[in-house]
Amino acid sequence: MYIEGKNAVKQAVESGQTINKIFVSQNEKGRGNTLLDLIFSQKIKVEFLPKNLMDNKSKTGHHQGYIAEVVDFEYCEIEDILKVANVRGEKPFVILLDGIEDPHNFGAIIRSCECAGVHGIIIPKNRACMVNETVIRTSTGAISNMKIAKVTNLKDAIKFLQENDIWVFSAEAGGKSVYAQNLNIPLAFVIGSEGFGVKKTIQSACDGVLALPLCGKVNSLNASVACGILVFEVVRQRLK
């Protein structure tokens, strides 16, 4: 798997992700480049290539002179996500994704969640986007700092969170306004796809349904946009 772009490669190096080799454009040589200094300090193998070979190797067309060859993304367990919250001394804050299949949406969600201090994301093994090069690129390096658990059954994951005293809410139209809900609690949101939303069977397993008030004529938001608004409402309440 490749990680491309200066910021994404920098985040991968700083997070300690296992990197087999980093391909660097020859144009980056001798510039007093701090990213190169960081890479060399970690004793990661570097291969300098001319721009045309870098372009040929790139799968996104946005390598910015840096392409890291890494091992496949390592998913975690839900317990690992809760450990992050415990180490930080914070109330658990988790996002579950129900049927998100667009890698651009998934990457954007990871980026928003990392910026908002979410402790981890839970995705189903089936009928969902997995971590790939597009997800990594869209997350702009945030994925290197985000725990992601892959589970067989989202309902079982919800039950596990509830057994650990975490309130789980599905984000869906017709629910209680998110602005009227106390979010300064151990919390998880379930975000559904734009086409189908959160499945009824998943909604029924949650502790409640929360919605974003909409004032326009369109009755839905892009999943990554909705997720971004929700997680930063949590940040706003927790920073009061």
pLDDT confidence bin for 15, thresholds 50/70/90: confident
CB-CB contact of 75 with 152 (8 Å): no
Predicted pLDDT of residue 237: 96
Predicted pLDDT of residue 25: 92
Q: How large is the C-alpha radius of gyration of the chain? A: 19
Q: What residue ranges define each of the domains in the chain, with the CATH number in brackets?
A: 2-70 (3.30.1330.30), 78-238 (3.40.1280.10)
pLDDT at 116 over 80: yes
Q: Of 72 and 175, which is predicted with more confidence?
A: 175
Report the C-alpha gap between 104 and 138 in whole angstroms.
6
CB-CB contact of 73 with 1 (8 Å): yes
pLDDT at 49 over 80: yes
**Three-class DSSP category at 4:** strand
DSSP class per residue in 53-112: HHHHH-SSS--TTEEEEEPPP--B-HHHHHHHHHHHT---EEEEEES---HHHHHHHHHH
pLDDT confidence bin for 1, thresholds 50/70/90: confident
155: Cβ contacts below 8 Å, ≥ 6 apart: 201, 202, 205
pLDDT at 216 over 80: no
Give the pLDDT confidence of 165-184 residue by residue, as tens digits: 999 999 998 899 999 999 99
Mean pLDDT, to the nearest integer, of 11-29?
A: 87
pLDDT at 187 over 90: yes
Q: Of 42 and 205, which is predicted with more confidence?
A: 205
Sequence letter at residue 66: Y
Rounded (10°) angle between helices 223-238 and 103-115: 10
pLDDT at 31 over 70: no
pTM of the predicted protein model: 0.80
Report the C-alpha gap between 27 and 92 in whole angstroms.
44
CB-CB contact of 101 with 223 (8 Å): no
Predicted pLDDT of residue 219: 66
pLDDT at 132 over 90: no
